[in-house]
Structure 1
């Protein structure tokens, strides 16, 4: 029986885990006899210490965002570079990564986070690892930590990223423009909304109840807001207490079929620039407004998406409801936006055949 090792990072729910889960589902559909195992190298190496690191990460992006942004850009995002050296990561994880691979004996490894990719790239350069490794990038850029030169294949989010890798010496045949891999249950077709009102989904339980209450000050009732609260029970309960016919809280949705059905009811999404949510909306061709980005990765995603016209930019001082309504009622602007999104997703290539080729 073939085995695939999927390597995200940290235990907290993130795009790295969602991409790993999506790829596992694709592999299961290719061949149900293939075993997929998802392992976080931090938890594998340090056990309960992983929770401390996760909490520090969450504290940094929430309480000291400017410092985290500076730290991330300084260490992981300056300019695209060939394989850089991070001795600190090697000291903490290289031995345990080698041990993990020797114990699991996978036929293929897929990295959905840059740190495992860096470590495996190094092991392959040292000729102590001959298992094929694929990078599955989870943002709309490639940070400097990702292993590059000795990685067997790259699933990139865009043609821009493919060109960056080619400039770094990666052969074109080793690069597949896959888009950020999302769950196969998120289908391309979108049902048409024939109701006289518009449905707008606010994704991201971290938005908080304050901005939600401002939505109640609408001047008309043309927009129904649905707030995806995630695991933020406090936000869900507060919105319920508002007893508004215009704003509906939605509990955490794990089932991708259910999430797909929710998307099909929406005319527009208001969200943060996380790779997975944006990629799901791009596939379903639902317009996206970005309300802000977390420091680090999301800041960079936001800049890329806005500069390429894949999302609608909200400027400071814009009246949210008026801006959304103006876009939804402007057929020409919606068509132009759809053309840009369609052109983007039409560059995507089949990545399941690449996975299959390594497991034959």
Structure 2
């Protein structure tokens, strides 16, 4: 069996993490599978990917209100304002052509999209009957943007029941939609003996200092009973800023290649402060770690936050009280912790099947296409 997985950028993102998670799940059930990851934009035009990535980062950091308005006008129009498929633009034709060439060359048995743009292109190719390879959408946020291909896509792995109902507005048959949750790598299912060391994890510093600088300034002004481990990734400026604070309870953690190491930090933490990214929040909810939001990037994170706040799965930090006081008011409150865990259980109960079971069922349905 040969599978192509399609993120969009080489830039590390939730789309890549989702791709890696689903690849690992497939490998567990089909060790014989040949799986190829193709970053569509860099494959088609490497220099263009560099420009687009740079422009995107500058846009969301320097003019977040402008990007937010763009996203709400052209990428996701909530409340049912857009009930038709996203139109095909002139530039889509080029990427459609290149994508069709990849499929013709590689002859995959399945294609899995972890980004909306390749899904949109494949949806159009299938509607034109220019390809018949089964396509699976794997959604990486807590909502379904307008860009994702819908009617022409064979299978949809959605985060929750609400997303399944949303897709039904586009006349996608219910038996093609599976509530699997956002994919989480199996490494994060491993449990360790919890350390008695009291620590809070801080994530979300990859794109710049931004809100983290203010957050860390607020923390260092208080008397802290927890150690705050800050995931800096490749962000040199953030790491240098933390070192300049010279605070015994605020630590800078370097980039981690190992999921096992990351899992240990999750296990040792009493809570996490992060942004509402779909993959990160899904990993943390898998660990039953209370989530505190201190800043939201424009675009998809705004809609993720809306959904998560509506379900009361996250807590939002404010500026009117010390940060640690807000955290301990939740995690040291047994009644509130029990209520929060019940809300997590309700979210989990929406899953119809595990990711592995769903994949096994699909591969079985399409067995006539799979060379064993």
- TM beyond 0.5: yes
Change (3 A) 1:188 1:332: farther
Say which SS state the counterpart of residue 189 (structure 2) adopts.
coil
Corresponding residue for residue 75 of structure 1: 74
Corresponding residue for residue 221 of structure 2: 217
- Residue 238 of structure 1 deviates from its aligned partner by 3.3
Would you say 1:352 and 2:356 are equivalent positions? Answer: yes
- Residue 189 of structure 1 deviates from its aligned partner by 4.3
Task: Structure 2: give runs of 5+ residues left out of the alignment.
Answer: 368-372
User: How far, CA to CA, are the matches of 2:164 and 2:319 in structure 1?
Assistant: 33
User: How far, CA to CA, are the matches of 1:18 and 1:185 in structure 2?
Assistant: 12
Task: Answer yes or no: is the 8 Å Cα contact 1:45–1:93 preserved in 2.
Answer: yes
Given the alignment, which residue of 250, 254, 269 partners 2:253?
A: 250
Q: CA RMSD in A?
A: 1.8
User: How far, CA to CA, are the matches of 2:121 and 2:219 in structure 1?
Assistant: 47
Corresponding residue for residue 273 of structure 2: 270
1:143-194 residue CA offsets vs partner (Å, 9 max, x unmatched): 1010000111101011110111123222222111111101111116464454
Would you say 1:228 and 2:231 are equivalent positions? Answer: yes
Equivalences, count: 356
User: How far, CA to CA, are the matches of 1:191 and 1:341 in structure 2?
Assistant: 22
1:287-338 residue CA offsets vs partner (Å, 9 max, x unmatched): 0000111010111111111111010122353431211121122111111111
Say which SS state the counterpart of residue 185 (structure 1) adopts.
helix
Task: Answer yes or no: is the 8 Å Cα contact 1:282–1:345 preserved in 2.
Answer: no
Corresponding residue for residue 370 of structure 2: none
User: How far, CA to CA, are the matches of 2:99 and 2:177 in structure 1?
Assistant: 25
- Residue 201 of structure 1 deviates from its aligned partner by 0.4
Given the alignment, which residue of 179, 182, 194 partners 1:180?
A: 182
Given the alignment, which residue of 284, 296, 301 partners 2:299?
A: 296
Change (3 A) 1:319 1:89: farther
Would you say 1:260 and 2:263 are equivalent positions? Answer: yes
Task: Answer yes or no: is the 8 Å Cα contact 1:11–1:54 preserved in 2.
Answer: no
Counting only pairs closer than 5 Å after superposition, residues 28-177 of structure 1 correspond to structure 2 as: 28-79=27-78, 80=80, 81-177=83-179
Corresponding residue for residue 283 of structure 2: 280
User: How far, CA to CA, are the matches of 1:319 and 1:162 in structure 2?
Assistant: 39
1:28-58 residue CA offsets vs partner (Å, 9 max, x unmatched): 2222221111112211222222101111111
**Mean Cα deviation higher: 128-137 or 160-169:** 160-169
Corresponding residue for residue 242 of structure 2: 239
Say which SS state the counterpart of residue 186 (structure 1) adopts.
helix
User: How far, CA to CA, are the matches of 2:331 and 2:250 in structure 1?
Assistant: 18
Q: TM-score, normalised by structure 2?
A: 0.91
Say which SS state the counterpart of residue 186 (structure 2) adopts.
coil
User: How far, CA to CA, are the matches of 2:275 and 2:287 in structure 1?
Assistant: 17
Say which SS state the counterpart of residue 230 (structure 1) adopts.
coil
1:77-130 residue CA offsets vs partner (Å, 9 max, x unmatched): 114534231324423411111111111111100000111001101111111111
Corresponding residue for residue 199 of structure 2: 199
- Residue 237 of structure 1 deviates from its aligned partner by 3.3
Say which SS state the counterpart of residue 354 (structure 2) adopts.
coil
